[in-house]
Amino acid sequence: MRLWSKTVQLLSALFICAFFSLTSFGQFNPGRTYFNKNNEDCDSINAVGYREIVYSFEGPKTIQTVQSYRMNGTLASESIHDQSLFPYKYSVRKIYDTLERLKETQNVYLDNLEGPFEKFYPNGALKANGSYHLNNYDDTLLGYYPNGTVKRVDVFCNGKLIEGKCFGTDGKDTTHFPFFQQASFPGGMKEFNHYLMSNMKYPQVALENNIQGSCYLKFLVHPDGSISSVTIVRGVPGCPECDKEALRLIKEMPNWVLAIDDEQFATASSYYQLSINFRLE
């Protein structure tokens, strides 16, 4: 009986040691999940990629890394989140090209791009650095040629260009051109408003109860201009039917004009926000 008791104690001690070894300095991978074009979970047959979540343990600190892969196995992005900062929902995202070369590092807060970023050329040289605020460029953005000389100095405020200068490889002023041209509704906002006027079906319950308001939506624009992942950021108070109609209008929009970067290349998928106003004449 005494021998059995000592055996149990020894096994318990080994288990505790193994547990603390794992949680102090180790990793844990709970498995793989697949996602479709809309970034929704799906089976492997309909997937465009898959995710793996790795938990790393460093003493009392837990680091969560969400790695997204293309179906050919190449790393597309990874989001690194220190869970000691969980109340702030803050993470660092790294984006890679098809050859797994680092393209950009971003800071993310509450699912929005927020804070400093860096973009890189395929050879690893710094292409640009600056800051985001609520997914828009903000403050001073610096762009560089591959040899490190300054290519541009742009000043933004909440995504709007306030002042911009571009320079040639010799350092002299040259004609300014956009660092980034956002994706847009075909024909611009004038055509977007015409689309809303022609297609909106004002909910009957809103008409009967004289309900007005604005619905704010967030959606993903892909490199081919298609729309997905439409969600409501803030709906019309007291009118879920208005929110439903706003969702329909966004989901049925025609493909957008592609976003391009300063080298005239189509950019990766990006989130945008719009508001749809319900107004009674």
Q: With the C-alpha atoms ordered 131, 136, 139, 145, is the resulting torsion angle positive or negative?
A: positive
Q: What is the pLDDT of residue 90?
A: 85
Candidate from 13-17, 58-62, 78-82, 224-228 with smallest mean pLDDT: 13-17
User: E strands within the chain?
Assistant: 25-28, 32-35, 41-42, 49-58, 61-70, 75-82, 90-96, 102-109, 112-113, 115-120, 126-133, 136-144, 150-157, 160-167, 173-174, 180-181, 213-221, 227-234, 260-261, 270-278
Mean pLDDT on 259-269? 63
Q: With the C-alpha atoms ordered 105, 110, 113, 114, is the resulting torsion angle positive or negative?
A: negative
pLDDT higher than 70, residue 92: yes
The CATH code for residues 189-278 is 3.30.1150.10
- Topology of the domain covering 25-178: Outer Surface Protein A; domain 3 (3.90.930)
Query: Where in the chain are the domains?
Result: 25-178, 189-278
* Strands 213-221 vs 41-42: parallel, antiparallel or unpaired: unpaired
157-192 per-position pLDDT tens digit? 978 889 999 999 999 999 988 887 778 899 988 999
pLDDT higher than 50, residue 98: yes
Of the two residues 61 and 251, the one the predictor is more confident about is 251
Q: What is the pLDDT of residue 262?
A: 67
Of the two residues 157 and 20, the one the predictor is more confident about is 157
Q: How confident is the model at residue 207 (pLDDT cuts 50, 70, 90)?
A: very high
Mean pLDDT on 148-156? 95
Q: How confident is the model at residue 64 (pLDDT cuts 50, 70, 90)?
A: confident
Q: What is the pLDDT of residue 110?
A: 81
Please tell me the pTM assigned to this model: 0.66
Of the two residues 45 and 83, the one the predictor is more confident about is 45
pLDDT higher than 50, residue 222: yes
Q: How confident is the model at residue 12 (pLDDT cuts 50, 70, 90)?
A: very low
Candidate from 1-5, 106-110, 173-177 with smallest mean pLDDT: 1-5
